[in-house]
């Protein structure tokens, strides 16, 4: 039986304080009833002896210090879970906003999830095809991996996220497409209405919404909801993966908005700030989200994460991308100069990597030449940057013939391999074949990362003429 408290000790911003409270738990849910009968929802965020601080989701305006009735519910925030989640759109706190009514719940689960026993984790294998050449070939997304996208303000990360959601497919060994057991959980945090509408309409028009669970937290929604959004999304993903055997790709955008909401929330509680005002526990908080990706022994499903975050002032050393890089298994970095050149997606190849790529590509997964091709493309593109640096000093006309050759290769590589249209969905075979055609622009002796057997099979100067017109 729950106890009802009448009156509040204090109201400070989005927080209310109750005194003389016993048998209360951290993150316990609460209901606040106003004088007019309106019910608001809150969550216990701080305990100090018999004093409890509650964060009110809908804000504290209109709350009376004397007549507000508060009831502690005795459980943390829970999400209603069912297979019916697929194709539905929810608010950041898990309330349906698509007009289709409540979800018929098979069970309720704590949104904070349960830690995965490290001993039970299965090493990620098999790749997820995104249809985007630069990702599939050079920083391959492996099932069960967490691979963030580092972007800058105003760049095309939202467009890239929509394309990944639309095109992503899981694969089995030797199979290009095995998507019948695949779904996407998409969570947007702190986005404007037009961006939310863009995501929703994009998924509807492409016909993928039936295999997508959407959580939308708008910029004018309460910040506490923004903190809950990725946890609601991952709870839904874990349920579909580990209870229904599905392979789930979770796309979280924008984690910087999440971190800034956490900073504001921490400040309202009076906590001592750390780097750039973020709380000292930012690392562990981000880890509690990212580490919910993976594969569990004895379960047929998997959870793969692509968190997207914007770097303030394009600063990759900012606390949010910096800490994210320590927790995750690589990164995809977007380049502003490529974006300004009109290259889409503007993926900066050299600072991007996937640390698990080597174990999910090659014979039986993608193609036996994939690893060698990727290494050679990286090495050749690095020489392109050296040639461009030299050209900026001595002028392009003074370059050696081989340096000019590398400049030509770099231009075509950015235009035809990194760059592709929003509607272009390339198979892994098309991507790898395109990579070989581009390498064939260079003299054979320059391809020192590939053995002679593969060169004999794939080196094709005649096929490279397509780029030169």
Q: Under CATH, to which class is 79-359 assigned?
A: alpha beta
* CATH 2.40.10.170 for domain 4-76: yes
8 Å CB contact between 181 and 155: no
Which tens digit of pLDDT belongs to each residue from 411-464? 999 999 999 999 999 999 999 999 999 999 999 999 999 999 999 999 988 878
The per-residue pLDDT for range 32-68, each reduced to its tens digit, is: 999 888 999 999 988 988 899 998 988 888 888 888 9
The two structure tokens encoding residue 146: 């967490």
Q: What confidence category does residue 176 fall into, taking pLDDT thresholds of 50, 70 and 90?
A: low
Q: Thinking of the domain 370-468, which architecture would CATH place it in?
A: Orthogonal Bundle (1.10)
Kindly report, residue by residue over 323-346, the tens digit of the pLDDT.
Answer: 999 999 999 999 999 999 999 999
Q: In sequence order, what are the residues at sequence separation of 6 or more whose Cβ sits closer than 8 angstroms to the Cβ of residue 70?
A: 4, 5, 6, 8, 16, 18, 30, 31, 32, 33, 42, 54
| 402's tokens | 């081989």
**Token code pair at residue 73:** 């519910």
Q: How far apart are CA 262 and CA 282, in angstroms?
A: 8
Q: What is the pLDDT of residue 36?
A: 87
* Mean predicted confidence (pLDDT) in 106-124: 89
- The answer, yes or no, to whether residue 175 has pLDDT greater than 60, is no
Locus of tokens 């492996």: 142
Write out pLDDT tens, residues 371-382. 999 999 999 999
Query: Is the pLDDT score of 115 beyond 80?
Result: no
The pLDDT of residue 179 is above 90: no
Run of H or E residues at 438? helix 428-439
At 178, the pLDDT band (50, 70, 90 cuts) reads low
- Any idea where the domains of the chain sit in the sequence? 4-76, 79-359, 370-468
pLDDT at 2: 67
Query: Is 127's pLDDT higher than 80?
Result: yes
Please report how many Cα atoms fall inside a 13 Å half-sphere around the Cα of residue 468, on the Cβ side.
Answer: 13
Q: Alpha helices, DSSP H only, in 269-335? A: 282-290, 319-327
**pLDDT confidence tier of residue 268, bands split at 50, 70 and 90:** confident
How many Cβ atoms sit within 10 Å of the Cβ of residue 101? 8
């Amino acid at each position: 039986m729950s106890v009802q408290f009448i009156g509040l000790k204090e109201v400070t911003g989005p927080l209310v304080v109750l005194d003389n409270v016993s048998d209360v738990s951290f993150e316990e849910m609460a209901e606040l009833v106003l004088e007019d009968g309106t019910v608001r929802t809150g969550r216990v965020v701080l305990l100090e002896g018999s004093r409890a601080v509650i964060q009110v989701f809908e804000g504290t305006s209109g709350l009376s210090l004397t007549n507000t009735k508060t009831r502690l519910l005795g459980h943390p925030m829970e999400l209603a879970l069912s297979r019916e989640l697929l194709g539905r759109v929810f608010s950041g706190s898990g309330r349906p906003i698509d007009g289709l009514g409540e979800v018929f719940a098979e069970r309720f689960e704590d949104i904070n999830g349960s830690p995965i026993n490290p001993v039970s984790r299965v090493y990620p294998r098999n790749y997820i095809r995104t249809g985007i050449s630069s990702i599939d070939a050079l920083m391959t997304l492996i099932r069960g991996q967490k691979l963030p996208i580092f972007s800058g303000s105003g760049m095309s990360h939202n467009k890239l996220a929509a394309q990944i959601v639309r095109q992503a497919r899981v694969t089995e060994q030797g199979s290009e497409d095995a998507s019948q057991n695949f779904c996407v959980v998409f969570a947007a945090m702190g986005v404007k209405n037009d961006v939310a509408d863009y995501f929703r309409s994009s998924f509807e028009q492409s016909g993928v919404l039936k295999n997508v669970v959407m959580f939308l937290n708008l910029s004018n929604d309460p910040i506490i909801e923004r903190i809950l959004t990725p946890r609601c999304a991952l709870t839904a993903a874990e349920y579909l993966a580990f209870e229904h055997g599905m392979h789930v790709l979770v796309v979280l955008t924008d984690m910087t908005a999440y971190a800034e909401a956490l900073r504001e929330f921490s400040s309202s509680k009076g906590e001592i700030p750390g780097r750039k005002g973020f709380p000292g526990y930012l690392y562990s908080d981000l880890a509690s989200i990212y580490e919910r990706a993976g594969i569990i022994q004895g379960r047929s499903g998997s959870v793969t994460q692509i968190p997207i975050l914007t770097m303030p002032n394009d600063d990759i050393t900012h606390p949010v991308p910096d800490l994210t890089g320590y927790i995750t298994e690589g990164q995809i970095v977007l380049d502003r100069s490529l974006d300004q050149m009109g290259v889409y997606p503007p993926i900066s190849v050299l600072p991007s990597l996937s640390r698990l790529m080597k174990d999910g590509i090659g014979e039986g997964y993608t193609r036996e030449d994939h690893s060698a091709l990727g290494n050679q493309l990286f090495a050749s593109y690095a020489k392109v940057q050296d040639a461009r640096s030299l050209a900026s000093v001595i002028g392009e006309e003074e370059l050696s013939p081989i340096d000019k050759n590398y400049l030509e290769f770099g231009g075509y590589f950015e235009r035809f391999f990194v760059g592709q249209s929003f509607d272009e969905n390339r198979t892994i075979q098309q991507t790898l074949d395109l990579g070989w055609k581009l390498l064939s622009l260079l003299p054979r002796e320059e391809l020192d990362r590939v053995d002679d057997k593969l060169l004999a099979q794939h080196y094709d100067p005649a096929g490279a003429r397509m780029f030169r017109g």
